[in-house]
Amino acid sequence: MAKFITVAHIYLNSEDYISAIGESDDIKLHTEKQMLETDDGESFEIIEVIDAGDMPLASEQVMRLRQARNILLNLRTRDGYELARSVDEQAYELESRIDLKMNRGAYDYGMIMRVLKEIMEGKNPIDH
């Protein structure tokens, strides 16, 4: 049987950080008990509990991703280009809320070349 990893975000309203950790642990225990075959190696792991108030806005995240993309393109290496394209795809998904795995035709693959051209002209495009 094939193994899979499921990534999920659980949003909790808690009194404080310690309470959020406790509630997360309760969710883990309940999920393992009710839904998983732990004897067969299935498990539920809490990776991180963070204060959602500290999360940057989606627009800020898109801007940061595009800045990273531009830095990678400035390296002018093949690996930098490939990674920049992947980062640009993530920025597009975040901004448009379109899952590219489900809709590959939605992303403009020519955009990265236009951005690269602008960077080579000394510009630093963030808006696209």
pLDDT tens-digit map of 51-110: 777 666 677 788 889 999 999 999 999 999 999 999 999 998 888 877 777 777 788 889
109, 81 Cβ separation under 8 angstroms? no
Sign of the CA dihedral 72, 75, 80, 85? positive
Same domain, 8 and 22: yes
Same domain, 43 and 82: no
Q: What pLDDT score does 7 carry?
A: 74
Q: Tell me which amino acid residue 83 is.
A: L
Same domain, 115 and 81: yes
Same domain, 88 and 63: yes
Residues in the chain: 128
3-state class (DSSP) for residue 124? coil
Strand boundaries in 2-128, DSSP class E: none
- The answer as to whether 31 is a domain residue is yes
Query: What is the C-alpha separation between 18 and 46, in angstroms, rounded?
Result: 14
Residue range of the domain that includes 91: 58-120
First to last CA, the chain: 43
Same domain, 26 and 76: no
The pLDDT-based confidence of 18 (bands split at 50, 70, 90) is very high
Q: Which two tokens stand for residue 61?
A: 């995240």
